[in-house]
Structure 1
Amino acid sequence: MSQARDHAGDHRPMRLFRNRVPGPRGPARIRAAAQLPTGTTALPVLIVSVIVLVALVADAGMTWLPLLATGPALAATTSGPRGVFCVGLLAAVLGATLGTTRDGLSAHDLAAVLSALAAVTLASGLASALRGRRERVLAAVRSVAEAAQQALLKPVPATVGPFRVAVRYSAAAAEARIGGDLYALVPTPYGVRLIVGDVRGKGLPAVGTAALVLGVFREAAYDEPDLLTVVDRIERSLARNLGSDDFVTAVVAGYPTEGQLELVNCGHAPPLLVRASGGVVAVEPTHPAPPLGLRALSGETPGLQVLPFADGDQLLLYTDGVTEARDHGREFYPLAEGLARHLSDDPARTLTALHDELLAHVGGRLHDDAALLMLRKEVRAERSAGQEPFAVDSRIATHST
């Protein structure tokens, strides 16, 4: 789904799609540093200098002056109109000097060379202005997309209840920085609840569906004491709003009482469970169910899966953009093995290592949206002294049994 913009437990909003106006950063800063005081960039000036040097050492019978137009043409890709015109003026002055003092060009020939150089400079200046306008439009679009990203995928705190949490997200549409994968984690009167899902398709339609799912989940997770009822509300909403070919795979999880984890898997990749004692196990659904939005076609309903979840245990939820990422040899990324290699007591550190390895596996850019969410049940001794103990609403007692 990037140029990957990533979210962690300290969740920095995307940069996507991540609204910053202060000075240039990254490539923009490098480009600004390469500029000369006159406003031109170093590379076009260097090209013009090399052409002049070649003209000075070459045979007098051959003129190199037409190549000076390379300078302003190249400047159009690296600087604004002012920089282009500065490079063009420099090239014209050097060309006129060489043409009259060394090459002995006639006034007619010199005028032809300078006219061509002026035409290239004017065209390059126009191209540079248009490029700058497109870049400003793209920056505005990215700013809007970033705002949408922050509204859709709200920051996940590093600590929620008894859990330490980390998130990494990368959208395949690098310029848009947003995609169809979704995640949310919310504290509720019925314990911490979370969802990780993947919308069929990409682009704006997928983003709209993801927004719908997350909106219903955040409301239902807080209102409904039963996790299956939360899933039912999402299903009913999707059935009313999705097309016949659209669906969402998802895992919905809850922690209703101490030491107990509930899972509902709707056609999604199985989460990976890491016990404090060691070992990575895929939590396959005991009662497979169709993706959200397709229940009416299959008639099957999801089942509730209950797992023990003790201090030090960890759970990794992810989307298929991670497990279906291929290298140049078309080999899938081995997520379970990667998790075992990079596992630590800090979910943020684990996901950072996993994400870096994933990008290296695919050669630097993902071709599908990818989300990773990991939570770790903190050992009691690790919890900060000022943190309130995890409270479970009394209404859960009957539900959890």
Structure 2
Amino acid sequence: MGDWQRRLTGRAQPRPWGHVLLLVSAVLIVLITVSDLVTPTDIHLGPLLVIAPAITAWAEGPWTTGCVGALSVAAQAFIGWHSHLLLSRNVVVQVVSLAVLSALIVALSVVRDRRRRELAQVRSVAEAAQRVLLWPLPDRLGSLQLASLYLAAEDEASIGGDLYAAARTGRGARLLIGDVRGKGLPAVGEAALLLGAFREAAHHHTALPALAASLERSITRYLADFEPEEEAGERFVTALLLEVPDDEPVVRMTSCGHVAPLLLEQDGGGVSVPDLNPAPPLGVGLTDAGGSTVDVLPFGPGDTLLLYTDGVVEARDRHGAFYPLTERTPQWAGCAPEVLLDHVRRDLIAHTGGRLGDDVALIAVRREPSASAAARVGRALHGARPDDAPAAGAQPEQARRGQA
């Protein structure tokens, strides 16, 4: 269970220190009462009893807080009765004042619990929206091992403008990672639109430039209807499209203004940053099938691709230094995808002190090095179902390589 899940369900779970504070409140009531009884009559410690309900409200609900407040009022009345001054003006004022303050603390506790319930509901809605928007990537996709990570910059947020998706298409896999300019609900809407368009178009276009052009048309139509007038021409999405064929040790990439991934080679070659030829971002109206290029890079068994959004490399420490992703990742080059992302997450949080300036999305993609992976892919290719065949009008693989 993640930290955000623990926060979401925190109201239903007993706080480990709640009973401790309740015991402290009871001890304080006894100590203050006894101290007031043994001190000279010109020293009044009874008003300090208000500390008990105040401490209780920190960890307990209104009912428990009210009980402790009533116990404090009773202790104040007992002090007055023991001193034979219960009906004196001074003691009456003290008792009434303590009762009013305790009631005020209970009222604040009620408001706090109501706000906490509302926040829990908002978080649950955000969690549901994230599950709908960012479907969890499968652990395996053909011959690939996958792992994904999303970190929201806002403490109370679960979703934002960063996005990723993957799809199995015939004899390979296609992946998308992107970053919507802006924040808030408009960014979430654009991310949802792009993800839906990719999940459908990934199966209907044989070449990455055609896929990029299809996504451009979808984003353009969306912005024409929903883009605010004050932000006309300023909203766009950077995206990186990848295609990993099963029968070739390569990866094809089309970048629409997105940062290049890191390639972690299995044979000790270290970490390299591919030199891509990016097209403009989606949404600016310049991306079409002829304007996008396909960069082909070696991607053999055991190699890992680390895809990320710019929130990773733009994360700063308290001195303003950017997170050195390229320098840190070589030490984890041989790790499985989920282990690699866990190392990056821990190191990134340590670098920033837990405060991210922008949302972060990462995908680790590793081509399986074992012979069993090749055997599994071979069985999939020879026993492919009819619905796994390329879409109508699909070009042969040799033609696609020539076009790339």
**Shorter-chain-normalised TM-score: which range?**
0.7 to 0.9
- Report if aligned partners of 2:238, 2:282 keep a CA contact under 8 Å in 1: yes
Partner residue in 2 for 1:35: 19
Q: 1:254 aligns with which of 223, 243, 251?
A: 243
**Correspondent of 2:157 among 162, 172, 176:** 176
Contact 1:271 1:318 in 2 (8 A): yes
Instruction: Name the residue aligned to 1:370.
Output: 360
CA RMSD of aligned residues (A): 3.0
Deviation at 1:224, TM superposition (A): 1.0
Match of 2:208 in 1: 227
Code of the residue aligned with 1:284 in structure 2: it is D
Deviations 1:115-162 (A, max 9, x none): 111111211212111111111111111111111100110011111110
Choose from 181, 195, 198 the match for 2:176.
195
Distance 1:264 1:74, change over 3 A: same
Instruction: Name 1:265's counterpart in structure 2.
Output: 255
What's the TM-score once normalised by structure 1's chain length? 0.86
- Deviating above 6 A after TM superposition, structure 1's stretches of 4 or more consecutive aligned residues are 297-300, 384-388
Q: Percent identity?
A: 39
Matched, 1:380 2:370: yes
User: Does the 8 Å CA contact 1:19/1:146 hold for their aligned counterparts?
Assistant: no
* Aligned mates of 2:84, 2:323 — CA distance in 1: 63
State how far apart, in whole Å, the 2-side matches of 1:302 and 1:275 are.
Answer: 27
1:263 to 1:75, Cα distance in 2 relative to 1, 3 A: same
CA distance in 1, matches of 2:138, 2:123: 24
338-347 vs 241-250, greater mean Cα deviation: 338-347
**What residue number does 1:245 align with?**
234
> Amino acid of the residue matched to residue 215 of structure 2?
I
TM, length-normalised to structure 2: 0.85
Residue from 44, 65, 78 that aligns with 1:84: 65
Moved more, 144-153 or 172-181: 172-181
Q: Distance in 2 between matches of 1:259 and 1:326?
A: 36
Give the CA deviation at 1:52.
4.0
Distance 1:187 1:98 in 2: 77
Partner of 1:399: 400
**Unpaired runs of 5+ in structure 1?**
1-11
Shift of 1:311: 0.5
Residues of 1 paired with 2:295 and 2:287: CA distance?
A: 23
Aligned length: 381
- The answer to whether the Cα contact below 8 Å between 1:235 and 1:292 also exists between their aligned partners in 2 is yes
Range moving further from structure 2, 381-390 or 105-114: 381-390
1:36-55 maps to which residues of 2 (within 5 A)?
Answer: 41-49=22-30, 51-52=32-33, 55=36
Quick check: 1:312–1:377 contact (8 Å CA) kept in 2? yes
Confirm or deny: 8 A CA contact 1:290 1:298 kept in the other structure. Answer: no
Cα shift readout 1:85-124 (whole Å, capped 9, x = no counterpart): 1110121122222333359566321111111111112112
Name the counterpart of 2:272.
281
Instruction: Could you tell me which runs of 5 or more consecutive residues in structure 2 were left unpaired when the two chains were aligned.
Output: 228-232, 391-395
CA distance in 2, matches of 1:128, 1:35: 17
Matching residue within 50, 58, 64 for 1:69: 50
Alpha-carbon shift at residue 380 of structure 1 (Å): 2.7
Contact 1:15–1:146, Cα closer than 8 Å, also in 2: no
SS of corresponding position for 1:31: coil
Q: Say if 1:300 and 1:127 are closer, same or farther in 2 by CA, change over 3 A.
A: farther
| 1:359-381 deviation digits (Å, cap 9, x = unpaired) | 01111232311011001101133
Whose Rg is larger? 2
> What CA distance in whole angstroms lies between the structure 2 residues aligned with 1:238 and 1:300?
18
SS at match of 2:279: coil
Find the counterpart in structure 2 of residue 95 from structure 1. Answer: 76
User: Which of residues 148, 168, 183 in structure 2 aligns to 1:167?
Assistant: 148
State the alpha-carbon separation in 1 of the partners of residues 242 and 12 from structure 2: 42
